[in-house]
Chain A
């Protein structure tokens, strides 16, 4: 079996295991009941989103230093997939907040910084759409990718001093969870990370094919063909 196929199967099994643990194995929360089960997917997608944006930053720096197109493809793939996961984290968080806090949205540190993150990475995709030349597009996206990532800790710290209603589950004091819940959370995080790796891999492959196709078309046009 190819690595791609193997990864797809492992991810599939991982997601199934995460679903089983989150919905059937872990006990309902004492206060929030079954609503709390959102938590596993919420934490996993938030973690994956942050991982994706870290990859965007690293790939952006690597692109600016080397100028190799493969780093740009990785940055593009990770931006898109990361945006997907952050969107899921914000939506699941909002639904959870509706039940736990009685409101859909609260302008508090965690939510605000997550939403700003979303805005910045959506802006990178805008930049990519609005620059014609591939090489310039890659450079601009890389510059903004680094700026956006530098803003993450600033946003996080700047709002730290506000009162926060967001629960702190993982802290220096350890985990504030029952052992079966910890297992469900860890498996969900691992499964989502695998899903991220798989999706990014596929998106990078697609980007490479798109680039090859564009080059084929250009070569064909230069030979006088009618490429559309």
Chain B
């Protein structure tokens, strides 16, 4: 028996679930600050995407306002995919996933921690690149701020949740980085529709009063695809 000699009462008591989640998120953020392996490529890719759209579409003199909501969300979801791909493959490469699995706790904390980290990463990218998307593509920001922020948040939460689950699934397959987009995008379609329609409605491109209904769809999507991974994640983490 290789037990540590002195175990203080505090450390032998299992930490609370939220504490574990917080610890994992903190670990992800610290690792990111040290290596800058996820956020930097994501931000750079977002800049590349907006430049490509600028040159590819704006250069012809087309008004991008009608297609702007679609461009915006497709870009963010593609950028987000970069972060998702790393979220489990980096653990695998350094064989640290086993360490996480050995934590004597309900494994849902791994899922929630990873999903929150992915949410933060994509959120940071969105904050940085949103002004650029509006500015460089020549689309005036006319949306009411609060509903717009809610749309950004809800559109990103569902993506981070289902994306984290499918990233865990893809990480253990051959050709993980090729499989992930194939798995994520079909499942994501309702979120894409909801986010694009809400944004369009808020920017006055679509039905100006329709945004509440579409925001409802996003909310329903998020509720379903946050709850389902919580139940199913355990089955992906069995050795």
A interface vs B, CB < 8 Å?
64, 112, 116, 119-120, 123, 126-127, 130-132, 136, 139-140, 142-144, 146-148, 150-151, 154-155, 157-159, 161
Question: How many chain B residues touch A (Cβ–Cβ < 8 Å)?
Answer: 29
The docked-state distance in angstroms from the alpha carbon of A147 to that of B174 is 21
Chain A residues near B225: list those with CB within 8 A.
Answer: 147, 150
- Nearest neighbor of A118 in chain B, beta-carbon distance: B186
Q: Is B174's CB under 8 angstroms from A116's CB?
A: no
- Nearest neighbor of A63 in chain B, beta-carbon distance: B235
Chain A residues near B173: list those with CB within 8 A.
Answer: 127, 130-131, 140
The docked-state distance in angstroms from the alpha carbon of A127 to that of B186 is 14
Q: Is A140's CB under 8 angstroms from B186's CB?
A: no
Q: Is B179 an interface residue (CB 8 A)?
A: yes
The docked-state distance in angstroms from the alpha carbon of A154 to that of B218 is 10
B interface vs A, CB < 8 Å?
162, 165-166, 169, 172-175, 179, 182-183, 185-187, 189-190, 193-194, 213, 217, 220-221, 224-225, 228, 232, 235-236, 238
The docked-state distance in angstroms from the alpha carbon of A71 to that of B186 is 25
* Interface of chain B: mostly helix, strand, loop or mixed: helix
Max count, chain B CB within 10 A of own CB: residue among A119, A130, A147, A150 = A147
A-B pairs with beta carbons under 8 Å apart, 27 shown: A64-B235, A116-B189, A119-B186, A120-B186, A127-B169, A127-B179, A130-B175, A139-B236, A140-B169, A140-B172, A143-B232, A146-B232, A147-B165, A147-B166, A147-B225, A147-B228, A150-B225, A151-B189, A151-B190, A154-B190, A154-B221, A155-B190, A157-B217, A158-B190, A158-B194, A158-B217, A161-B213
Contact of A143 with B235 at beta-carbon distance under 8 Å, contacts A127-B179, A158-B217 already known: yes
- B186 CB to closest chain A CB (Å) equals 4
The docked-state distance in angstroms from the alpha carbon of A116 to that of B183 is 11
- B206 CB to closest chain A CB (Å) equals 11
Chain B residues near A119: list those with CB within 8 A.
Answer: 182, 185-186
Contact of A159 with B183 at beta-carbon distance under 8 Å, contacts A127-B169, A140-B173 already known: no
Across the A-B interface, give the 3 residue pairs with the lowest CB-CB distance, nearest first.
A130-B173, A158-B190, A119-B186
B185, B220, B228: the one contacting A146 at CB < 8 Å is B228
Max count, chain A CB within 10 A of own CB: residue among B166, B172, B186 = B186
Chain A residues near B179: list those with CB within 8 A.
Answer: 123, 126-127, 130
- A152 CB to closest chain B CB (Å) equals 10
Contact of A154 with B232 at beta-carbon distance under 8 Å, contacts A119-B186, A130-B173 already known: no
- A109 CB to closest chain B CB (Å) equals 10
Chain B residues near A154: list those with CB within 8 A.
Answer: 190, 220-221, 224
Q: Is A148's CB under 8 angstroms from B235's CB?
A: no
The docked-state distance in angstroms from the alpha carbon of A142 to that of B234 is 13
Q: Is B174's CB under 8 angstroms from A130's CB?
A: yes
Contact of A126 with B228 at beta-carbon distance under 8 Å, contacts A143-B235, A151-B190, A158-B194 already known: no
Q: Is A140's CB under 8 angstroms from B236's CB?
A: yes
Contact of A151 with B182 at beta-carbon distance under 8 Å, contacts A146-B232, A161-B213 already known: no
The docked-state distance in angstroms from the alpha carbon of A141 to that of B220 is 25
- A176 CB to closest chain B CB (Å) equals 28
- B70 CB to closest chain A CB (Å) equals 12
Q: Is B165's CB under 8 angstroms from A155's CB?
A: no
A123, A136, A146: the one contacting B183 at CB < 8 Å is A123
Q: Is A127's CB under 8 angstroms from B228's CB?
A: no
The docked-state distance in angstroms from the alpha carbon of A158 to that of B214 is 9
- Nearest neighbor of B239 in chain A, beta-carbon distance: A136
Q: Is A126's CB under 8 angstroms from B182's CB?
A: yes
